[in-house]
Amino acid sequence: MRTQDFDFYLPETLIAQYPTSSRSASNLLYVSSQSDVLEDKLFVDFPHFLSAGDLLVFNDTRVIKARLFGTKGTGGQVEVLVERVLDDHHVLAHIRASRAPKASNMLRLANAFDAKVLARHDDLFHVHFLGEMPVLELLERYGALPLPPYITHDAVAQDDERYQTVYAKHAGAVAAPTAGLHFDETVLNALKAKGVNIAYVTLHVGAGTFQPVRVDNIKDHKMHSEIYHITSETVALLEATKQAGNNVIAVGTTSLRALESAAQEALNDEKNNSILKAGSAETSIFISPGFDFKIVDKLLTNFHLPKSTLLMLVSAFAGFDVIKKAYTHAVDKKYRFFSYGDAMFIEKSKSLTN
């Protein structure tokens, strides 16, 4: 398929710049791949689509204040966006400057601490944060929340709260797992009261999630890499859910990517007897039409950018024509798009469940 196949018209006015008045005050489009039905709902209706024994899988990554501003040793301005924290003093980062820094160049960040560029690996720089304070503490104290490029305002206190899920736990993401932003305690309690089970994976979302696809044939696209972790407890819950004939629902594309990556790892490991392989791993999985889903039955997600890998993923899951119809409907009905936008609940395509 061609990248152009995943383009669609989106008025700028539909790109949500701010969150709704409350987390669960968004709209929800229900997309049934089984009957080709589209239903306009509210997010508070979401628990009605689930049954006792179903399993919701959340991504419990926590967004870090990954953006830093400073100067090079030459005095030039520099912007550092941490992509991955390697340890307490080393990161991989994107660096924007009039001239890219070279190995051994010094940076003064936030006018508070020094960092040294150690090497460059493609688009990323290996940077050593000097001093005794750990990276995560430095970022929390001096960094800024890295809002997506399509949000036009600088991060404010409201963003510090709302561009973070209520269950965020493990710091390391530079972008939020946005499908989870709709959940508040009221919705979570309604799900638990209905007998829906909850499990967690951790996938630290990278800035690559916003990178456009620059090739014509999507098979030529090289996906960015991200770290994920799945516990043995989550694997056990997934196995029990499948054995009982209940549904596994991924909350967001990041949860889905972690689960399907772990399923591939399990298949590739002859010593593994589970449907998923527990533990930590790195994934650059690219899910596009034709992908063989092993784990996820239903997906809760937001509306994605034209020609993006995430739009390709949901098209693979629900079917290209189904998603095209759903997005046309969403634009016509003025749904809010992207990170602070509305949600969409989709079932796996009929052709994938037969």
User: What's the confidence (pLDDT) of residue 35?
Assistant: 67
The number of angstroms, rounded, from the C-alpha of 141 to the middle of its chain's C-alpha atoms is 24
Q: To which H or E segment does residue 56 belong? A: strand 55-59
State percent of the chain over pLDDT 90: 90
How crowded is residue 98: how many other Cβ atoms within 10 Å of its Cβ? Answer: 9
pLDDT digit string (tens) for 75-100?
899 999 999 999 999 999 999 999 99
Report, as an integer, the average pLDDT of 245-268. Answer: 96
Question: Where does the pLDDT of residue 353 fall: very low under 50, low under 70, confident under 90, or very high at 90 and above?
Answer: low
Question: Where does the pLDDT of residue 289 fall: very low under 50, low under 70, confident under 90, or very high at 90 and above?
Answer: very high
| Burial 22-56, CB ≥16 within 10 A → b, else e | ebbebbbbbbbbeeeebeeeebbbbbebbeeebbb
Question: Where does the pLDDT of residue 33 fall: very low under 50, low under 70, confident under 90, or very high at 90 and above?
Answer: confident
C-alpha distances out from residue 331 to 8, 26, 149, 157, 319, Å: 10, 15, 21, 30, 18
User: What's the confidence (pLDDT) of residue 37?
Assistant: 84
On average, the pLDDT of the chain sits at 95
Residues of the chain with CATH 3.40.1780.10: 3-63+160-353
Residues belonging to the chain: 354
Closest CA to 57 of 216, 196, 212, 204: 196
**Paired tokens of 37:** 């039905």
Provide the edge-to-edge strand list for the sheet that holds 37-42.
Answer: 37-42, 27-32, 343-347, 298-302, 248-251, 55-59, 197-203, 226-230, 279-283
Q: 53: phi > 0 → left, psi -120 to 50 → alpha, else beta; which?
A: left
Question: Where does the pLDDT of residue 208 fall: very low under 50, low under 70, confident under 90, or very high at 90 and above?
Answer: confident
Question: d(Cα 92, Cα 216) in Å, to the nearest integer?
Answer: 29
Residues of the chain with CATH 2.40.10: 67-142
Question: d(Cα 4, Cα 330) in Å, to the nearest integer?
Answer: 20
* In CATH, 3-63+160-353 is 3.40.1780.10: yes
Residues 6+ apart with CB under 8 A from 124: 83, 92, 93, 94
C-alpha distances out from residue 55 to 52, 183, 198, 259, 296, Å: 9, 15, 6, 13, 10
Q: Which residues pair with 124 in a beta bridge?
A: 121
User: What's the confidence (pLDDT) of residue 182?
Assistant: 98
Report, as an integer, the average pLDDT of 214-228. Answer: 93
**Paired tokens of 31:** 């997309």
CATH code: domain 67-142 is 2.40.10
Eight-state DSSP code of residue 290: T
pTM over 0.85: yes
